[in-house]
Amino acid sequence: MKAELAASVDQRRKLGQEIVDSVFSFGELGFQEVETSKYLTGVLEKNGFTVKRGVGGLPTGWTATWGSGGPVIALGSDIDGLPKASQKPGVAHREPLVPGAPGHGEGHNSGQAVNILAALALKDLMQKEHIPGTLVLWPGVAEELVAGKAFMIRDGVFKGVDAVVFTHVGDNLETAWGPYKGSGLVSVKYSFHGESAHAAGAPWLGRSALDGAMLMGMGWDMRREHLRPQQRSHYVITDGGDQPNVVPPEATIWFFVRETDFSHIAQNYATANTIAEAAAKMSNTTVTRQVIGSAAPRYFNKPLAELMDANIRQVGLPTWTADEQAFAKAVQRTIHAKEDGLATQMPPLAGPNVDPAGGGGSDDVGDISWTLPTVMLVYPSNIPNLPGHNWVNAMSMATPIAHDGVVAGGKVVAMTVLDMLTNPAALDAAKSFFRDVQTKDEHYVPMIGPDDKPQIQLNADIMAKYRPEMRKYYYDPKKYKTYLDQLGVKWPTF
């Protein structure tokens, strides 16, 4: 049956290419994935899935369900882009499609293609072989803000789900189990409130909110030395006043506070709150805070990862063409990275991350991983040695490299879900590991409160500014075979 599944995914290669290229062309930021969600749900409804929109209080959130009975397997992947990452694909030099506009500088345009190819292949096989079970597809909304999945969990979106398969773009075909590299975090905006005055005529009558925000940043920077090396923290001042001759009455500083376990995230968050209050006192202002989102440290299920890894070995990496390898090396050369091209060997199954000075990026799939058994597939649609969260990471994301990586990933996901559907012992082992190992001594600690709401207004102004021009570049698969064809890009362009 697995060979039949793989062939079924291969037969949908054209659909995978169209999904990858279409979502790339939308290039939408978190909470504003309007065209992306409209398009993806349209594809799924056309193929017999029942769609529920607006889940978790997220206007661009949805679930798409097919099947009946158990087990219930949920397939998820992120869908949002990054600011200022607009980039023409298939060219190995900086060339934004729309200068200053957002784009897919991480590659979130590809993960739903992986899951949809897998789900449609599974649907055909389940109907043919009368295999019971339910498939639920869902998007990671506003992952780049780590501001969606915790709300989906709080609102019961995953109630009744037996296991989750999550896909994320990378530069190899791999999975892992246990505590995963990277961090959890809480994302918080601190808003300082003062009083305006003429900055030259009567500054003593003003109370500078910007002083409060800057003092908080300075205070945090002094405290960094005395935090664990595992911590990662960053901030930007999103509102620093209006013009220099007016004492700023309002200012906002936005923090990501990261650590590798629940207790230290909470501890560092409390430290940030203390520093904020102290900064307000020093600047004679007041301060309020708004939680934007959170991400639990990721922890993936060992039995499910072992199932997935066996399927990874069966599928293998794509056989890259000479053009694909040449383009990858040209992209690496563009940023003076090591020029070793695309991956040709797969790493072994990774176990728990034990780096004592660990830390790094976050994904709010961590919240899901502490709610029910979860496994993550990294699939090879991008190029090694790139910085991430950068326009250069968009260069491959609507090219044959991305398309081939999606097909390989779709096969692995389909085979792994088939194992869960047809082998009750496999799911039992996954649930036992989740209950008796992962959550034996540590449990999910949500960082959002009952009154916190998704900050769905974020990025609306940016998309309103750039969407009219970006719309001119939306992919039309009825007229053009590929997005590169539509853009007039000769593949590959160095």
Of 257, 277, 292, which one is at a domain's C-terminal end?
292
Find out whether the peptide bond into 492 is cis, omega within 30 degrees of 0.
yes
pLDDT on residue 359: 84
Residue 125 parent element (H or E)? helix 111-129
Give the span between the Cα atoms of 366 and 78, in whole angstroms: 13
pLDDT on residue 410: 98
Of 292, 317, 336, which one is at a domain's C-terminal end?
292
Task: Write the CATH number for 198.
Answer: 3.30.70.360
Rounded percentage of the chain residues whose pLDDT exceeds 70: 100
Mean pLDDT (the chain, rounded):
97
pLDDT in tens, 351-389: 998 776 678 899 999 999 999 999 999 999 999 999 999
pLDDT in tens, 49-72: 999 999 999 999 999 999 999 999
Domain assignment present for 79: yes
pLDDT in tens, 432-485: 999 999 999 999 999 998 999 999 999 999 999 999 999 999 999 999 999 999
279 and 301 together in one domain: no
Rounded percentage of the chain residues whose pLDDT exceeds 90: 97
User: How far from 428 is each of 304, 415, 433, CA to CA, in Å?
Assistant: 10, 18, 9
330 and 449 together in one domain: yes
Domain assignment present for 448: yes
User: How far from 211 is each of 191, 235, 470, CA to CA, in Å?
Assistant: 12, 15, 38
117 and 176 together in one domain: yes
Domain assignment present for 492: no
* Phi, psi dihedrals of residue 372, rounded to the nearest 5°: -160, 165
Domain assignment present for 38: yes
pLDDT in tens, 201-226: 999 999 999 999 999 999 999 999 99
pLDDT on residue 355: 76
pLDDT in tens, 250-290: 999 999 999 999 999 999 999 999 999 999 999 999 999 99
194 and 286 together in one domain: yes
Domain assignment present for 10: yes
Question: Could you please report the per-residue DSSP string of 84-110?
Answer: T----TTBSS---SSTT--B-SS-TTS
Tokens at residue 126, please? 């389940």
Q: To 10 degrees, the CA torsion angle through 256, 258, 264, 270?
A: -10
Task: Write the CATH number for 379.
Answer: 3.40.630.10
Give the span between the Cα atoms of 391 and 399, in whole angstroms: 15
Whole-model pTM? 0.96
Q: Is 189 helix (H, G, I), strand (E, B) or coil?
A: strand
Of 254, 270, 292, which one is at a domain's C-terminal end?
292
Residue 145: pLDDT above 80?
A: yes
103 and 239 together in one domain: no
pLDDT on residue 356: 64
Tokens at residue 84, please? 């200022």
Tokens at residue 300, please? 């993936």
Give the span between the Cα atoms of 179 and 261, in whole angstroms: 9
> Which structural domain range is residue 49 located in?
2-181+297-487
109 and 11 together in one domain: yes
165 and 258 together in one domain: no
Domain assignment present for 494: no
pLDDT on residue 210: 98
Give the span between the Cα atoms of 301 and 51, in whole angstroms: 28
* N-term to C-term CA, the chain: 42
Neighbours of 373 (CB within 10 A): 26
93 and 166 together in one domain: yes
330 and 438 together in one domain: yes
210 and 272 together in one domain: yes
287 and 328 together in one domain: no
Domain assignment present for 379: yes
pLDDT on residue 54: 98
454 and 441 together in one domain: yes
Question: Could you please report the per-residue DSSP string of 332-400?
Answer: HHHTT-----S--SPPPPB-----TT------THHHHHTTS-EEEEEEE-S-TT--SSSGGGGTTTTSH
Domain assignment present for 493: no
Say how many domains are in the chain.
2
